[in-house]
Amino acid sequence: MSGAIVMNPAPTTHPALLAWVAEMQALCRPERVVWCDGSEAENEALLRQAVAQGDLEPLDPQRWPGCYSARSAENDVARTENLTYICTRLRRDAGPLNNWMDPAEAYRKLGGWLDGAMRGRTMYVVPFVMGIPGSAFAKVGVQLTDSLYVVLNMRIMTRMGSVALRELGGSGSFTRGVHARADLSLERRAICHFPEDNTIWSVGSNYGGNVLLGKKCLALRIASWLGRHEGWMAEHMLIMGVEDPRGQVSYLAAAFPSQCGKTNLAMLVPPPALSGYKVWTVGDDIAWLRPGPDGRLYALNPEAGIFGVAPGTSHLTNPNAMAAVRRNTIFTNVLRTDDGGVWWEGMGTPPPLAGTDWRGRRWTPGSGVKGAHPNSRFTAPARQCPSISPEWEDPAGVPLSAIVFGGRRARLEPLVYQARDWRHGVYVGATMASETTAAATGQVGVVRRDPMAMLPFCGYDMGDYLRHWLDMGGRLSRPPAIFHVNWFRQDAQGRYLWPGYGDNLRVLNWILARAEGRVAGRQTPVGTVPETGELDLEGTSIDQRTLRSGLLDIDPDEWRAELDDQAAWLERIGPTLPPELRQEHRAAVERFGRRD
Ligand code: GTP
Ligand code: SPV
Ligand code: MN
């Protein structure tokens, strides 16, 4: 054995858990092992220690009670998709769109990096629940990590500590997560998922989705694999309720790629002209979906916190997020002001005269660089969000009236359209595309296809995943209606045509009216769009003509080219592509008629 000093006794007798912790301790050789209980006292002690060792800086306790800021390494500010692997015995099970590594090779390679990686450090044992403890919608994970920053973020993002050991009991199954910061070099960084072993190993990063293993790694990649086998779905979706002036609440879920507006939509504040409405936030990033006994699809947010994008978040764009981050929040890679506050581009307040930027350098508005990193984030407890839904912890989830797909497209995609039926909706999701953002390393602003916003998060073969979507539709007698939206269409000068944010409620209201059969819409070859007058524009500077000719316009030539590109994309999904989706493509081509 390693000779590590175990600081507190293991609060479990779960044999497989104890054996695995001992095994990983022998590999990583930490100086200490600390089992986390998730208590308030423990949190306070860990926060004090994080400040003492320089991982966190406290903000001004008067204005920002319980808030801290952190900076990550300059080469470690976003998910590294090129270093993220699905490690299945057969390459075919990961599919052509995932990076694949043979499990034996991955264990050997990362095992080499983990060997002694925690020498002189503390290994924290972090048990956590994704979903609602005690319900069918709960999965237990245990993350071993040598990063206090990760422990403190996991405490906000998940239901962490004793609650998870209770959920696990003496013999329950759990996802085994190992995380070590190691040397933070790109040469020795990898995030490996072993769905066949219910295991995740992440080495060489300390940032967000790479290391908060409950989030993208468990609640999406591993959970999507489990969902396929267990008859449910794990999706990169927000969940929200829209309450109309009569007090009727309808729920919808929306899949947009990273940094494409999920958090903002989920926390929407109605514009003055729609002040009789109220939006309830159920979740802002991940949804677990299950058919209910009534044939509807039910959605649950497995997370307990919000890991939200800071830049662009202001009192005007997202007042609910601004209220949520006023206390007990960890800010990562934002600008720190000299008076113990934080600032980011698009915060809606003038920049401070001087401060410390996300790189830790002195900054002034004239520095010529951004004060906050474009992927800087806040980690806040979801219950602090003023719009949090009273149903957000209902273990049954909420019944969905609509599913919405969307992304950033400067051209082509109209503001909104409805798919013809579930199968066509799956086609729309399978072929959706968006301009890339700073949430992942690599080029920003290039259009890429991102099925259901799950390209970086699907834990298995994409063709099998789309098959699962089609099959799930067959199990729903009252499936949600499926839509596609685009808040980001631009004019020739590069200005957004649609005001976005609170005004997106106008689109949601049309979506719900369609889902409930209250409006007829207008048929186009792409799908059903709002008929003139159906989308309420009162109180905006947009008139019905501009809506029709600018925002809802469908250009047949551009769409024919798009359909050619979609055909090429379907080929890339490979031999497991469900033939139904090829039929949907043919039908779409026919609806546009022949080119001449
Ligand atoms: P992840 O956490 O990366 O999964 O992102 P997300 O989908 O939750 O995106 P988020 O809501 O954080 O929005 C990302 C960026 O898009 C922010 O800078 C927002 O201000 C901006 N944004 C969100 N909604 C709108 C909109 O309706 N219109 C415009 N123009 N920008 C928006
Ligand atoms: C995303 O990139 O979609 C996020 C942030 O929600 S991260 O947790 O870093 O993946
Ligand atoms: Mn996300």
In order along its 596 residues, the chain shows pLDDT tens digits of 445 556 788 899 999 999 999 999 999 999 999 999 999 999 999 999 999 999 999 999 999 999 999 999 999 999 999 999 999 999 999 999 999 999 999 999 999 999 999 999 999 999 999 999 999 889 999 999 999 999 999 999 999 999 999 999 999 999 999 999 999 999 999 999 999 999 999 999 999 999 999 999 999 999 999 999 999 999 999 999 999 999 999 999 999 999 999 999 999 999 999 999 999 999 999 999 999 999 999 999 999 999 999 999 999 999 999 999 999 999 999 999 999 999 999 999 999 999 999 999 999 999 999 999 999 999 999 999 999 999 999 999 999 999 999 999 999 999 999 999 999 999 999 999 999 999 999 999 999 999 999 999 999 999 999 999 999 999 999 999 999 999 999 999 999 999 999 999 999 999 999 999 999 999 999 999 999 999 999 999 999 999 999 999 999 999 999 999 999 999 999 999 999 999 999 999 999 986 54
Mutate to test the pocket of ligand 1, among 77, 235, 236, 263 (most ligand atoms within 8 A of CB): 263
Alpha carbon of 511 to ligand 2 centroid (Å):
27
* Structural contact between residues 220 and 286, judged by C-beta atoms closer than 8 angstroms: yes
What is 56-97 written as a DSSP string? -EE--TTTSTT-EEE---TT-SSB-GGGEEE--SSHHHH-TT
Q: Which atom of ligand 1 is found nearest the CA of 499?
A: 28
Looking at residue 136, its pLDDT comes to 85
Q: How many CA atoms lie within 13 A of 517 on its CB side?
A: 0
What's the 518 CA to ligand 3 centre distance in angstroms? 32
Spatial neighbors of 493 by CB under 8 A, at least 6 apart, are: none
Q: Is 217 a catalytic residue?
A: no
pLDDT value at residue 596: 47
Q: Which ligand is nearest to the CA of 333?
A: 2
Of 28, 36, 217, 260, the active-site residue reads 260
Q: Is the CB of 215 under 6 A from ligand 2?
A: yes
Query: Ligand 2: which atom is nearest the Cα of residue 309?
Result: 5
Strands 330-332 and 377-381: antiparallel
Residue 471's CB is within 10 A of a number of other CB atoms, namely: 12
Q: How far, in Å, is the centroid of ligand 2 from the Cα of 302?
A: 15
pLDDT at 594: 61
Residue showing tokens 């409620």: 505
Query: How far apart are the C-alpha atoms of 2 and 113, rounded to whole Å?
Result: 17
Bridge partners, residue 129, by sequence = 140, 159
pLDDT for the residue numbered 353? 96
Domains, the chain, in order of start with CATH, read 6-35+80-230 (3.40.449.10), 235-301+392-573 (3.90.228.20), 306-384 (2.170.8.10)
Distant-in-sequence, close-in-space partners of 280: CB < 8 Å, separation ≥ 6: 240, 241, 242, 243, 249, 387, 388, 389, 390, 391
Q: Are 500 and 487 in contact (CB under 8 A)?
A: yes
**Cα→Cα distances 489→186, 288, 492, 547, Å:** 36, 30, 10, 12
Nearest bound ligand to the CA of residue 262: 1
The Å distance, Cα 561 to ligand 2 centre, comes to: 31
Ligand 2 neighbourhood includes 258 CB (under 6 angstroms): yes
Q: How far apart are CA 280 and CA 391, in angstroms?
A: 9
For residue 254, the ligand closest to its alpha carbon is 1
pTM (predicted TM-score)? 0.98
Give the C-alpha distances (Å, rounded to integers) separating 222 from 106, 175, 219, 261, 289.
16, 8, 6, 24, 15
Q: Are 347 and 378 in contact (CB under 8 A)?
A: no
DSSP annotation of 440: B
Q: How far is the CA of 592 from the centre of ligand 3 (A)?
A: 34
- For the chain, give the number of residues: 596
Closest atom, ligand 2, to C-alpha of 215: 8
What are the pocket residues of ligand 1 if the criterion is a CB atom closer than 6 Å to any ligand atom? 256, 258-264, 284-285, 308-309, 311-312, 317, 439, 487-488, 496, 500-501, 504
